[in-house]
């Protein structure tokens, strides 16, 4: 399974990259706004900086909602760097745009996916990645991980090449369960990635090893 970090914060991207486990980055308009990145030129430059930090797929989302504008924006985003993956929403125009990008060798990430039916459409359109939002599904008292498992089954049975990118991850357990359910990629906040490190027995065990070594060597 690939690990992406879900942020536009450069320090957090660097911290995850320095762990040696990072395969890419996802952003969205809310994450860019959170970092105070506004205006076309600044947004473009920020994507450039992310591409310089991480040698992997970097998802950049279109803001347009109609087909023609999505194509224009997506082409401009794809021109920034060869690692840019154009993120388009699961709408009628979004699906048409994903098909257009696929036919023109521009890789895509279909975002805002909440059902297996949407996952089938995105795969038929040739999406490179599919982003089911598991945390937002859980927030609605449904089961986001169950959706990942259902999509993984469908993609295997049907032989679809689209990669399942579990998004809207809220905690380390989401990562473990998404991996179990067949996600090809998890995009996670830094806190969830670092949360995977934690176990009290690791801390207790390390403290004992160090204490025993100190006793024996003093």
- Token pair, residue 97, equals 């745009």
- Give the range of 127-135, 151-159, 178-186, 200-208 binding ligand E4P by CB under 6 A: 127-135
Torsion of CA 174, 114, 85, 9, to 10 degrees: -50
Closest CA to 85 of 119, 126, 115: 126
Exactly one of 62, 167, 183, 193 binds ligand E4P (CB under 6 A); that residue is: 167
Query: Is 87 an active-site residue?
Result: yes
Closest CA to 62 of 107, 28, 113, 101: 28
Contact between 168 and ligand E4P (CB under 6 A)? yes
Contact between 128 and ligand E4P (CB under 6 A)? no
Contact between 192 and ligand E4P (CB under 6 A)? no
Please state the closest distance from residue 85 (CB atom) to ligand E4P, in A. 10
Report CA 176 to chain centroid distance, whole Å.
Answer: 15
Question: For ligand E4P, which is the closer residue by CB, 12 or 168?
Answer: 168
In degrees, rounded to 5, the angle at the alpha carbon of residue 134 between the alpha carbons of residues 14 and 183 is 70
- Give the range of 39-47, 62-70, 133-141, 206-214 binding ligand E4P by CB under 6 A: 133-141
Contact between 131 and ligand E4P (CB under 6 A)? yes
Exactly one of 87, 124, 208, 215 is catalytic; which is it? 87
- Token pair, residue 39, equals 């205006």
In degrees, rounded to 5, the angle at the alpha carbon of residue 150 between the alpha carbons of residues 141 and 128 is 110
To which residue do tokens 């760097």 refer? Answer: 81
Question: For ligand E4P, which is the closer residue by CB, 15 or 138?
Answer: 138
Site for ligand E4P, rule CB under 6 A: 6, 26, 28, 111, 131, 133, 135-136, 167-168, 187
């Amino acid at each position: 399974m690939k690990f992406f970090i879900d942020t536009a914060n450069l320090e957090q991207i660097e911290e995850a990259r320095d762990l040696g486990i990072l395969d890419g980055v996802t952003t969205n308009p809310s994450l860019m706004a959170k970092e105070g990145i506004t205006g076309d030129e600044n947004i473009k430059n920020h994507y450039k900086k992310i591409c310089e930090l991480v040698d992997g797929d970097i998802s950049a989302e279109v803001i347009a909602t109609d087909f023609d504008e999505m194509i224009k924006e997506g082409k401009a985003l794809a021109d920034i760097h060869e690692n840019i993956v154009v993120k388009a929403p699961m709408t009628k125009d979004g699906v048409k745009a994903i098909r257009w990008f696929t036919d023109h060798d521009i890789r895509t990430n279909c975002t805002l996916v909440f059902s297996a039916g949407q996952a089938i459409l995105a795969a038929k359109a040739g999406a490179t990645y599919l982003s089911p939002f598991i945390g937002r599904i859980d927030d609605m008292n449904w089961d986001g991980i169950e959706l990942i498992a259902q999509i993984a089954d469908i993609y295997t049975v049907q032989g679809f090449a689209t990669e399942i990118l579990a998004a809207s991850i809220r905690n380390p357990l989401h990562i473990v369960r998404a991996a179990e359910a067949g996600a090809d990629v998890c995009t996670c906040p830094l806190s969830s990635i670092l949360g995977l490190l934690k176990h009290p027995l690791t801390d207790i065990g390390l403290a004992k090893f160090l204490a025993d070594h100190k006793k024996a060597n003093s």
